[in-house]
Structure 1
Amino acid sequence: MTITTAIILGLFISFVLIIYIVKGNPFQFKKKNDHQDLIDSIQERIAKANGATIEHYALDNLSQVKKPEVDFYKDAEFVNKECTNLDDFIINDQLNSYDLRKLADLNGIQLQIRQGWHPLLIEMLQELDQQGWNRSVSCIKEKYASLRFYTQCQYEDPIQTILEEYEYKSEKVCETCGKKGEIRYNSGWDYVACQEHYVENRGEVTIQKNGFIHNDKFYEWNNIKKALFDKDLDYSDKHRFLKIELKKPYIEPSGWPTGTIYIANYVTGFGSFLNHIPKGFPGLDYNYIKNFENPEFCEICGYKAVYFDRCECCESLSWSAYHKQWKTQDGKDENEEKRWYLKHKQMNWQVIEGDKYVPAYGNYTKKPDHKILYTELEFQDYLNKEDLYPED
């Protein structure tokens, strides 16, 4: 071996030793935990996108002292705080949301449901425990507006019956607060909400002097480059979305620019907004907009908010539209059919305390001589029954 070769070999060996000391063995495969930060950050965003209201991290991270999430359970008081495996997980009447999160962690999954369903899930776990459930679960999430809990069980097994029962129960419980709710279909995805949180989710558009406010963001009329109804998102003869392209993009709080906004026909104030949008946008169907020019008083809630055969306030079809859609059955009196429809819709409006949330609907004018058609006795009877009022 020549002197030159020996020098080169020595330098190479020295270089490898330095790399090994500074960065560890470069030829060793990385362990799962080396990539856990990236995995957890992705899982956390997925969980939040699915409506979770509690932070989500893998159980592995709880043992890593340097991470801020290690203290997630530190100050919390809950039954299974010291539990480290499924065999020791306790199910009793003292469970809380931290226990649910711990159960998910022990199974290596995310708790992808909102706070309002936590009591329902705890109740379900107690029933599953009575059937000898082994604490193993592969998924806890909301899907199609119902609670989905995936665990191994046989068809027609008591455990399967319990899962189906609570899946149905969840469809009547507000995901946000746990109060009585119903499935809402307005926003492009199904979810369960009480009237308060439904109104909050509907959004609002209000007219200003030089423009409009849509969901708390102000847009100037002269900043609109183009406006048209997005027919790709329409499933009937009525337009569901108005698409607006801006000249100067609106900068979101996150820093992302938004050059296009969609205003849905279910937001409060939609009818009034259409009546104020400037004329002259090529491609905008102004003949369709004429259907919203003269709102009428609603016979159900009493507010002047009936645009194009539907009340924007209580969201009920007008009697004429309902009658046209379903027709009066043979042998039934049309006037009596109308009275039945209006009366049951009015009682439903009372049940959800609709008048309480009217300010959030845009302060519609109420008809002074609006008539209530049901009696107190009929209303009490209505409260004791379910699904009495007709669906649109």
Structure 2
Amino acid sequence: MKQEEINSFIENNLKNFSVNSTGWNDLIRQMLFEFAIGGWNMKHAVFGKEKFGELCCAIYSEDKELNVILGNITDKYSRLSGKICEICGSEGKMRTIDSWQTTLCLNHFLEQQPVIDIDEKLDVTLKGKKVLNLTEVSKAEVEYDFQGLWLYEETELNEEKQTYFSWQEPNYFLLLKTVPLPLFPEDSQHEISELFTNLKDCEICGYKAIHKGICLRCHNESWRESEDAIEDSEEKISYIKEGQMDIFMDDDDHEKCFKYDRSFEKVPDHQILFSYSELHEYEKLLF
């Protein structure tokens, strides 16, 4: 098997892969190389695409033994693609952008992550681009449990323009708090007012953000007291420590993404409970 033939097979089929950018090109080349040395007839084209943030390649042979080999290769590179940024090819992980799954490094994730901002003129921007001004909003609707927000504007043609915001976007709750209450339906006005009036302190992340037992900032549950006060106190401290260490390690990059979120007040005198030795032992357990 000549190297030139393999190279030609690889380059001819690389263009058959429908992916978001060039970050997976080397990965696809390696996969095609393994197809070639694994016994695939290089006269036959190979096609693939990105699906749910991973590389997907549908390839089949009537030869059962070869089909097993091909399946092993595609499974291998599908797994590998979930760790490589689709854009630049550096180390990445599965992310969710605008409800779509994609594999990105931290830099490209932060570049694409929608971040809501509101200035003193009440201009609302996403990714640095103005999407609306709150003084021009004619009505607002909020989804169940505050998971999403719809803002409506009347256009010059008397048409209704709607813009959607998700709770997964930094400063979402700041926006929800800033939208004038009368724009919401009456049944929602009370719920929104109660939300921001009755927020409680989160001992894990240190923000006043607990609503119905869940922190809207770090998404941890608040500790539920039990009848055994002594045992409960020890377990509570361990629970808080573990949550704080998870935030510090930030394996899912949530804190990096929400670094500039201004939705909630910082709790004065918030205490960090874990020590260096506890963090070191916890890291060994996880990694």
SS in 1 for 2:100: coil
How many angstroms apart in 2 are the aligned matches of 1:179 and 1:365? 36
The AA in structure 2 aligned to 1:103 is N
Aligned pair 1:191/2:102, yes or no?
A: yes
- The structure carrying a bigger strand percent of its residues is 2
Shift of 1:293: 4.6
Q: Which residue of 2 aligns with 1:150?
A: 58
TM-score, normalising length: structure 2: 0.72
Q: Which residue of 1 aligns with 2:229?
A: none
Which segments of 5 or more consecutive residues in structure 2 lack a partner in the other structure?
226-231
> Is contact 1:205–1:212 with CA below 8 Å preserved after alignment?
no
TM-score, normalising length: structure 1: 0.55
Which segments of 5 or more consecutive residues in structure 1 lack a partner in the other structure?
1-86, 231-236, 251-256, 325-330, 387-392
Q: Which residue of 1 aligns with 2:209?
A: 306
Aligned pair 1:226/2:139, yes or no?
A: yes
Selected match of 1:371 from 255, 272, 279 = 272
Q: Which residue of 2 aligns with 1:119?
A: 26
Q: 1:212 to 1:176 in 2, by over 3 A?
A: same
Larger RCO: 1 or 2 (CA < 8 Å, sep 6+): 2
Selected match of 1:130 from 37, 44, 58 = 37
SS in 1 for 2:242: helix
Q: Which residue of 2 aligns with 1:210?
A: 121
Q: Deviations over 1:256-298 (max 9, x none)?
A: x982111111111011111111121252612332324566665
Q: 1:129 to 1:138 in 2, by over 3 A?
A: closer
Aligned pair 1:90/2:3, yes or no?
A: no
Shift of 1:365: 6.9
How many angstroms apart in 2 are the aligned matches of 1:244 and 1:228? 7
> Is contact 1:116–1:174 with CA below 8 Å preserved after alignment?
yes
How many angstroms apart in 2 are the aligned matches of 1:172 and 1:110? 18
The AA in structure 2 aligned to 1:288 is E
Aligned pair 1:288/2:227, yes or no?
A: no
Q: 1:211 to 1:218 in 2, by over 3 A?
A: farther
**Which is further off, 352-361 or 141-150?**
352-361
Aligned length: 267
Shift of 1:199: 3.0
How many angstroms apart in 1 are the aligned matches of 2:281 and 2:24? 28
How many angstroms apart in 2 are the aligned matches of 1:380 and 1:194? 27
> Is contact 1:91–1:125 with CA below 8 Å preserved after alignment?
no
How many angstroms apart in 2 are the aligned matches of 1:91 and 1:121? 14
RMSD of Structure 2 on Structure 1 (CA): 4.0
SS in 1 for 2:169: coil
Selected match of 2:167 from 265, 285, 298 = 265
SS in 1 for 2:181: coil
The AA in structure 2 aligned to 1:170 is S
Q: 1:347 to 1:126 in 2, by over 3 A?
A: farther
Q: 1:363 to 1:275 in 2, by over 3 A?
A: closer
Q: Which residue of 2 aligns with 1:341?
A: 242
SS in 1 for 2:149: strand
Q: 1:186 to 1:296 in 2, by over 3 A?
A: farther
Q: Which residue of 2 aligns with 1:161?
A: 72
Shift of 1:207: 2.3
> Is contact 1:242–1:264 with CA below 8 Å preserved after alignment?
yes
Q: Which residue of 1 aligns with 2:13?
A: 103
Larger radius of gyration: 1
Q: Percent identity between the aligned chains?
A: 18
